[in-house]
């Protein structure tokens, strides 16, 4: 074994500090409890003001029209039925069943009351920060650092976790309900790394087995939350090679069972996406040249770094033009190339800075490499990468202070205590970290205040991104909901005028055109212009035949216009595309019954009632059962209608159905 490998093999040991007792006179358990309470309190101070913030943008697809969260049981289905672990396709939670399950639990207890969703999101973020604290502390105690941080590891790790927890760049991942996908994945990403560290430093075989199992389970849970965790096996291998094993070969030979377990997290992602990509708007099959995406992402990567150190302004959705040629891209490509070269050199030298830089790129790699046309930039994508960067800055700040105050430290044998107990650097570090925490918290609170008003949040975004089609459409939708129809139409008109002759721009905008037509249809309905609304819905369906919401609304307007067969055609196509569309089943059943096709009507009404029990659906079922002579079924359906009406607070309806049922039973008993 080489000297490097021999030295590295001993570095798996953990230095045994006295927790924070070298800094504060507290036992370990008291310091951990105090730190946990303080971190939790600061996070809630920042995020507590948005507990009742409304749904925005993708939240409607995730929660309001997501049939897979309506019932907790069955949790999973192998017949294609949409259940908590079988989320609706082409939605923000498709291929993310564990996150969808958490939304189903929220829905079960609070329906669409946003408070519960925001509380859970914030709790997930707090847990992720606590796990980051543990990861950084364990890392600083490795023999790789030769005891330099033994007496302050807990404090440095806590400061890192606290600054990361309040960093304004994380606000989207926590405040935007749908982005629980990112926060939950981030929690399991960090938990996987922590379990790996415990595996590498385990004192016994049984301990290592336990942590191997926990690391595997955490990685699998992350994969079921969001597919970005695919990079965690590579990051774990890089961590072991850098801080513990010394070489990739030695790391693989020593910990191959762990990497087998981590790679298992790829299996559910492969299975879930085996029938096609999670979203039709991402991938190389869309026709966007790969080099154009990569040129653009070079600029995006530098934007992420800028926002990490100067998190303002923050924007809900970034609109950035594609960079089509190297002549336009070189101001961003060249710095990124130099950063990558420097990173590879540092990785080769087993530098902690190199590990952090390459891990950040690895965590971002899915969206850096694979085109995602509607969303070139997203703040939430930095959630895990920021958890890598912040500890580097915080610990680096303390290290620089040590060298400034004790320049002779370089000539002092490593492992001595004079660095750890030096009060000057530590005092300045505490003041600086506290000040940074306060500033970030205040900036975060200011940013989060925008989330309390959907229209205001979108208008704030438009100020920074005036030509963002997606935000203009969503702004128009929100303005229409609060009755500002004229402003809504102006927003829609602005979006419509942005469709230009640029092939690349057209391609990006065309991903939104069907939404624009649908939104125009909604606005025209509210303005009392059903014929115009019908035209917009028809165009939305032409642009995207799978757009079931547009088909359903078109069916409603056709039904109101007396065009019953045309309405039935739209409902039938809607339930064919989306078999779990309860309202479409119910409306189709009612129309079939009115057309005398009772047996077909019953099938759709039964399915609608099963998917989303409503008193009106059961009433239609009662009528259909009576017409076919199925009296027992009619009685059961009437009883269900009463039960559902009472649960929904429709007492008058429940009494009317009860009176009808009493008369119906009395008629049955007459001779």
Q: What is the pLDDT of residues 99-157, one digit of tens each?
A: 999 999 999 999 999 999 999 999 999 999 999 999 999 999 999 999 899 889 999 99
Compute the distance between CA of residue 181 and CA of residue 93 in angstroms, rounded to an integer.
7
Residue 11 has pLDDT above 70, yes or no: no
Per-residue burial over 592-630, b if 16 or more Cβ lie within 10 Å, else e, is bbeeeebeebbbbbbbbbebbbbbbbbbbbbbbbbeeeb
Is 657 within 8 Å of 641 (Cβ atoms)?
A: yes
Q: What would the mean pLDDT of 553-577 be, rounded to a whole number?
A: 93
Which among 391, 511, 348 is positioned nearest to 138, based on CA atoms?
A: 391
pTM for the model = 0.85
Kindly report, residue by residue over 361-383, the tens digit of the pLDDT: 999 999 999 888 778 999 999 99
E strand map for 19-86: none
462 in Cβ contact with 315 (< 8 Å): no
- Token pair, residue 597, equals 């096709």
For residue 186, the model assigns a pLDDT of 97
- In sequence order, the 6+-apart residues with CB closer than 8 A to the CB of 149 are 140, 141, 156, 395, 420
Rounded (5°) CA angle 403-404-407: 60
Q: In the numeric block, which tokens belong to residue 80?
A: 């294609």
Percent of the chain scoring above 90 in pLDDT: 56
Within 13 Å and on the Cβ side, how many CA atoms surround 137?
Answer: 24
Question: In angstroms, what CA-CA distances link 493 with 333, 475, 496?
Answer: 36, 12, 5
Is residue 354 predicted with pLDDT exceeding 50? Answer: yes
CA distance 311 to 167: 8
Helices and strands, counts by H and E, the chain: 29, 0
- How far apart are the C-alpha atoms of 663 and 298, rounded to whole Å? 74
pLDDT band of residue 19 (cuts 50, 70, 90) is: very low
Q: What is the largest CA-CA distance in the chain?
A: 109
Of 268, 269, 378, whose CA–CA distance to 314 is shortest?
A: 378
For residues 38-51, one letter each, b for 16 or more C-beta atoms within 10 angstroms of the residue's C-beta and e for the rest, the string is ebbebbeebbeebe
């Amino acid at each position: 074994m080489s000297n490097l490998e021999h030295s590295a093999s001993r570095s798996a040991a953990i230095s045994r500090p006295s927790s924070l007792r070298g800094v504060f006179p507290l036992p370990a358990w008291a310091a951990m409890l105090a730190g946990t309470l303080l971190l939790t309190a600061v996070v809630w101070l920042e995020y507590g003001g948005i507990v009742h913030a409304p749904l925005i943008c993708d939240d409607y697809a995730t929660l309001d029209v997501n049939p897979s969260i309506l019932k907790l049981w069955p949790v999973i289905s192998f017949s294609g039925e949409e259940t908590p672990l079988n989320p609706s396709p082409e939605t923000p939670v498709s291929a993310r069943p564990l996150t969808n399950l958490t939304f189903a639990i929220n829905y079960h207890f609070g329906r669409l009351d946003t408070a519960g969703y925001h509380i859970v999101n914030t709790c997930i973020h707090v847990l992720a920060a606590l796990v980051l604290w543990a990861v950084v502390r364990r890392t600083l105690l490795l023999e790789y650092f030769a005891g330099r941080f033994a007496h302050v590891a807990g404090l440095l790790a806590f400061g890192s976790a606290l600054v990361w927890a309040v960093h304004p760049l994380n606000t989207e991942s926590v405040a935007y309900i749908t982005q629980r996908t990112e926060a939950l994945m981030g929690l399991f990403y960090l938990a996987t790394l922590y379990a790996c560290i415990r595996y590498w430093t385990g004192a016994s075989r049984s301990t290592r087995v336990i942590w191997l199992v926990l690391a595997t389970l955490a990685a699998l849970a992350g994969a079921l939350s969001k597919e970005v965790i695919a990079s965690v096996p590579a990051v774990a291998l890089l961590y072991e090679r850098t801080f513990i094993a010394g070489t990739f070969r030695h790391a693989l030979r020593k910990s191959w069972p762990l990497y087998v377990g981590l790679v298992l997290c790829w299996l559910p992602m492969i299975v879930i996406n085996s029938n096609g990509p999670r979203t039709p708007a991402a991938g190389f099959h869309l026709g966007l040249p790969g080099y154009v995406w990569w040129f653009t992402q070079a600029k995006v990567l530098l934007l992420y770094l800028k926002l990490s150190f100067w998190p303002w302004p923050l924007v809900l959705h970034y609109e950035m033009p594609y960079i089509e040629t190297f002549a336009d891209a070189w101001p961003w490509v060249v710095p990124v190339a130099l950063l990558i070269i420097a990173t590879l050199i540092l990785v080769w030298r087993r530098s902690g800075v190199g590990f952090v830089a390459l891990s950040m790129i690895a965590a971002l790699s899915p969206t850096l490499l694979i085109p995602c046309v509607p969303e070139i930039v997203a703040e939430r994508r930095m959630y895990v990468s920021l958890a890598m960067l912040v500890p580097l800055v915080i610990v680096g700040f303390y290290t620089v202070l040590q060298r400034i105050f004790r320049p002779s430290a370089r000539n002092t044998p490593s492992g001595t205590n004079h660095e750890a107990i030096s009060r000057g650097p530590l005092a300045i570090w505490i003041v600086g970290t506290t000040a940074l925490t306060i500033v970030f918290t205040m900036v975060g609170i200011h940013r989060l205040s925008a989330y309390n008003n959907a229209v205001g949040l979108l208008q704030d975004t438009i100020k920074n991104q005036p030509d963002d089609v997606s935000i203009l459409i969503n702004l128009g939708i929100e303005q229409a909901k609060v009755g500002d129809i004229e402003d809504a139409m102006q927003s829609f008109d602005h979006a419509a005028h942005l469709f230009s002759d640029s092939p690349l721009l057209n391609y990006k905008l065309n991903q939104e055109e069907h939404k624009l037509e649908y939104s125009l249809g909604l606005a025209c309905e509210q303005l009392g212009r059903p014929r115009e609304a019908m035209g917009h819905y028809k165009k939305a369906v032409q642009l995207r035949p799978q757009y079931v919401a547009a088909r359903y609304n078109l069916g409603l307007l056709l039904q109101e216009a007396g065009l019953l067969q045309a309405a039935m055609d739209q409902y039938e196509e809607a339930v064919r595309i989306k078999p779990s569309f309860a309202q479409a089943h119910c409306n189709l059943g009612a129309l079939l019954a009115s057309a005398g096709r009772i047996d077909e009507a019953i099938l759709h009404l039964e399915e609608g009632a099963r998917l989303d029990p409503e008193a009106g659906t059961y009433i239609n079922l009662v009528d259909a059962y009576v017409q076919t002579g199925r009296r027992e079924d009619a009685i059961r359906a009437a009883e269900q209608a009463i039960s559902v009406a009472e649960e929904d607070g429709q007492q008058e309806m429940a009494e009317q159905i009860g009176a009808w049922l009493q008369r119906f039973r009395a008629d049955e008993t007459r001779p």
